Structure 1
Amino acid sequence: MRATTRAVAVLTFAVVLSQFFRSYLAVIAPEVMQELSLTPAMFGWLSSTFFLSFAGAQIPVGIAFDRFGVGRPVTALLGLGVVSAGLIAVTHSYTLALVAQAGLGLACAPLFMALVYYASHHLPEQRFVQTITLTSAIGTAGAFMAAAPLGWATYLFGWRSALAMAALLTLVTLLGVWRFVRDARPAGQVPESAGETVRGCLALLRVPALWTLIPACLVLAAGITFRNAWGGPYLADVYAMDAVQRGEAMTVASLCGLLSAFAVPLLVRRWNAKRIASIWLAVSVLAAAALTAVPDGGVVPSVALIALLFTIGNIHPLLMAQGKSVLDPAVRGRGFGLLNSFVFLGYGIAAAGFGRIAEAAGNAGLPPAGIFAWIFAAAALALLLGLVPYLFSPHGGQRGGQPGAC
């Protein structure tokens, strides 16, 4: 059990790092756009490249977990992350920045899923949901690091120096995983041919219960992207905030996400995952609708509503817990990968799609507030479309982690 605790601790720190790389562009977006001469659409692609590569890696990573365990795949991909973070810190080329963002996406792709997969095989059922929700909450510290601390570091040393430090932390994480995460393929699992692996993945798409979870996974990004990418441009364009002010505003959003994330392990002791996630999705729809109606209603209410949208990411481990309840242990890695691929495919679609909306609205002559009203409207619609099928999802991840409890 001590070895399991150490492994979970190291993987939790890896999730912190992943959250940082998902979020850092939101604070330094104007500086990056100016230095690399990016249009809004180009910035949208820069942000979405991370999430598209992240999404594309989920099922292959899940297959690797089913075959080799967690340690070796995570160590290898973190090596790519060290190189990619270093490249971001030094490049002046938009093309190389896209390549580096794709590399960071691949490096971060296994980190949260590694934690969920490892916990699902090494912890008893009653501890699984509480553990992944708690460690997910701790992981949101990475988003906090990508807020005011990154804003101040950018102000004092420049964003490139800050990214160089992130590359060093990635190396430290790699060494920790190599040293402490020593697992192997789950006992009793029979090796598969490539054809059997492909057929097994396709079979997952025929599980009806997963299709009640997939839309909710896909639309999480419609809220979170305002913390990870579009919150910074919104505050800069509508409220003329500088890097430090944006960092402080994003810190507020991150603190809300952090505090609400720590509430999730307490909530699952009283209510099932489906009830918690359904209410959270509904409230997020209302927050996006409010920003659509009044996109320039003042800094305080705008930051508060962005913070509320950001917290939608806290239901991610609840969706994964529901997925665990319908996945056979032999295919759990690729099943988690399937759900996660839709989560981060949503990030890519949202980041790039919002960029296209911003550019089209700008070309139509709309002021900044009008541009972001259309973006918030798209977010509200997406969240609503995720909520409706989710209402028919299974009651997995129940109160106290006990299957079948209501």
Structure 2
Amino acid sequence: MPSSDPTASADPTRGLRALTFAFALSQFFRTCLAVIAPELQHDLGLSPAGFGALSSCFFLAFAVAQIPIGIAFDRYGVGAPTRLLMAVGVLASVLFVVAPNGATAMVAQAGLGLACAPVFMGLMHFASEQLPAARYTTAVGRASAIAMLGALCATAPLGWAAHQFGWRPALAVAALCMLAACIGTWRHVRDTGHADARAETPMNLLLGSARLLKVPALWTLIPLCVAMAAGTAFRNAWGGPYLAEVYGLAAGPRGLALTFVSLGAFATALLLPKLVWRHSVRKTVLYWSLLSLGGGALLSAWPAGGLWSSVALLTVLATIGMLHPLVMTHGRSMVPQALRGRGLGVLNTFVFLGSAVTSWAFGLIADAGQRHGASAPGTYAGIFGCATVLVLIAVLFYARSPRIAPG
């Protein structure tokens, strides 16, 4: 429902555009490490486990921030918290460009995680407050598809730029885009929170978030929130090392291969709203999860079955991450309107905690394989097997989820 607050954003379209641009930039930053992973490991002196930790810093900061951000959205609206954290992101993006070692890069990644943490949840929350319910799913689905252009820029274009100029100048351009996104959000996302949330003490708001964990229905979604990372971890970070170590691809060809993975995600983002319209949110999520499960199982059985077949299967596995808006929509239907910021925050915490944990765990598996002299395909069979088990558990839980409430 549109907000009845007279101080709500007067032009929600411009606010949604600003948040969509920021979301595209968030997709870039969460994806860019995959293409330049070997170069980062070399320049920053990172082992496979160190690279996993570097990637995890972004998602761990992202996850830790979700519940406080959800509280801030309910209390103050989307604009103010998002502007503050994106200003942190401007500084962090510059720090990453000049990072002399892995430790500094990890601090910068954590700052970027904080900056990107409010963007997607803010887009969903802002849309739910400013748009009629009938337009909500379509608007968020369209924004998700457009934002995938950021992920596409982090594939072949970034690979080409890193090859031609080095990864630091390429990411300097991204830092300028972060500044532009911060300015756009400051100018166009002008909203306020809920009066009842402002009347509560911060401790009561935090306890309200904790009480959401007592809602049994949410626990049918939480394993899927974690498992979405099992696919996106390969698009965001581990697809690059996989293609470099198993197939020997340099930065340019890696970027091209990962472009196909991101194009698959882009096409999926366009397709999913049509499937929801024909079927339902719940059925679409369940059957697409099964499709991704099949892709992961085949990769774990044949991790070196051929470059293009592996890229195709990697794409199928990675598209589970595009279910994110639908899972959030499902969860949104389970909580009262005044708790929606916190409800999205709780679910998003598990999404990005899953991203942090899986990226770190994949690094440990890769490190163990290196120490024990395992072949690259054997090591990645273990990594894909881990991802597949997570998706299987998620499917079993989600199959027991309630049907989404109308409206």
TM-score clears 0.5: yes
1:151-166 maps to which residues of 2 (within 5 A)?
151-166=159-174
Choose which of 23, 28, 32 in structure 1 pairs with 2:31: 23
Secondary structure of residue in 1 paired with 2:369: helix
Correspondence list, 1:246-285, <5 A: 246-285=254-293
Which amino acid counterpart does residue 109 of structure 2 have in structure 1?
Q
Local SS of the residue matching 1:38: coil
- 1:219 alignment partner in structure 2: 227
Q: CA deviation at 1:360?
A: 1.0
Report the alpha carbon displacement of residue 194 of structure 1 after superposing the two structures with TM. 2.6
Counterpart check, 1:35 vs 2:71: no
Runs of 4+ in 1 over 3 A off after TM superposition: 187-190
Amino acid paired to 2:190: R
> Which range moved further: 381-390 or 358-367?
358-367
Q: Which residue number in structure 2 is paired with residue 293 of structure 1?
A: 301
The question of whether the paired residues in 1 share the 8 Å contact of 2:86 and 2:182 is answered with: yes
Residue 168 of structure 1 is matched in structure 2 by 176
Task: Find the partner of 1:83 among 88, 91, 112.
Answer: 91
2-side partners of 1:258 and 1:292: how far apart?
24
| AA aligned opposite 2:125 | Y
Q: Are residue 196 (structure 1) and residue 212 (structure 2) matched?
A: no
- Structure 1 residue 189: Cα displacement: 4.3
In structure 2, distance between residues paired with 1:369 and 1:203: 44
Q: How much does 1:157 deviate?
A: 1.1
Residue type of the partner of 1:69?
G
For residues 303-347 of structure 1, the C-alpha deviation after alignment (integer angstroms, 9 at most, x for no partner) is: 101111111111100011111111111111111000001000000
Q: Deviations over 1:8-67 (max 9, x none)?
A: 111111110000010000000000000111100000000011000000000000011111
Matched, 1:329 2:337: yes
Contact 2:228 2:321 in 1 (8 A): yes
Determine the structure 1 residue equivalent to 2:117.
Answer: 109
- CA 1:60–1:189 in 2, change beyond 3 Å: closer, same or farther? closer
Aligned to 2:4: none
Query: Are 1:392 and 2:374 an aligned pair?
Result: no
Which residue, 283, 300, 321 being the options, matches 1:313? 321
- 1:68 maps to 76
Provide the secondary structure at the position in 1 that maps to 2:278.
coil
Tell me if the contact between 1:148 and 1:247 (Cα under 8 Å) persists in the aligned partners: yes
The corresponding residue for 1:11 is 19
Q: Given that residues 230 and 391 in structure 2 are in contact (C-alpha distance below 8 angstroms), is that contact kept between their aligned partners in structure 1?
A: yes
Give me the whole-angstrom Cα distance separating, in 1, the residues matched to 2:256 and 2:265. Answer: 14
1:185 and 2:198 are equivalent in the alignment: no
Q: CA deviation at 1:372?
A: 0.3
The CA deviation at 1:114 is 0.3
- Separation in structure 2 between the aligned mates of residue 234 and residue 185 of structure 1, nearest angstrom: 44
**1:227: how far off?**
0.8
Partner AA of 1:18 in structure 2: S
Deviation at 1:187, TM superposition (A): 4.9
- Partner of 1:92, secondary structure, is coil
AA matched with 1:364: H
Instruction: Tell me how far 1:221 sits from its aligned partner.
Output: 0.5
- Displacement after TM superposition at 1:96 (Å): 0.8
1:51 counterpart residue number: 59
Counterpart Cα distance in 2 of 1:265 and 1:10:
22
1:289-311 CA distance string (max 9 Å, x none): 10111111110100101111111
Aligned residues of 1:134 and 1:264 also touching (Cα < 8 A)? no
- State whether residues 33 and 237 of structure 2, in contact with CA within 8 Å, keep that contact through their aligned partners in structure 1: yes
How much has 1:229 moved relative to structure 2?
A: 0.5
User: Would the aligned equivalents of 1:222 and 1:383 in 2 still touch at CA under 8 Å?
Assistant: yes
Q: Which one-letter code corresponds to 2:383 in the other structure?
A: I
Cα distance in 1 between the residues matched to 2:297 and 2:69: 36
What TM-score, normalized by structure 2, do the two folds share?
A: 0.96
- Looking at structure 2, the residues matched to 105 and 301 of structure 1 have their Cα atoms a distance apart, in angstroms, of 32
Q: Does 1:352 align with 2:363?
A: no
Aligned residues: CA RMSD: 1.2
In structure 2, stretches of 5+ residues that fail to align are 1-8
Report the Cα offset of residue 2 of structure 1.
7.2
Which of 310, 317, 322 is matched with 1:302 structurally?
310
Q: Deviations over 1:132-191 (max 9, x none)?
A: 111111111111010001001101111000111111000000110110111011355452
SS where residue 209 of structure 1 aligns? helix
CA distance in 1, matches of 2:29, 2:274: 28
1:133 aligns to 2:173 (yes or no)? no
Cα distance between partner residues in 2 of 1:375 and 1:257 = 21
Distance 2:10 2:266 in 1: 27
Change over 3 Å in CA distance of 1:199–1:188 after alignment to 2: closer
Q: Distance in 1 between matches of 2:69 and 2:210?
A: 16
* Percent of residue pairs identical: 49
Q: State TM-score, norm by structure 1.
A: 0.96
Amino acid at match of 2:292: S
Unaligned runs of 5+ in 1: none
Q: Give the conservation status (yes or no) of the 8 Å contact 1:137–1:314.
A: no
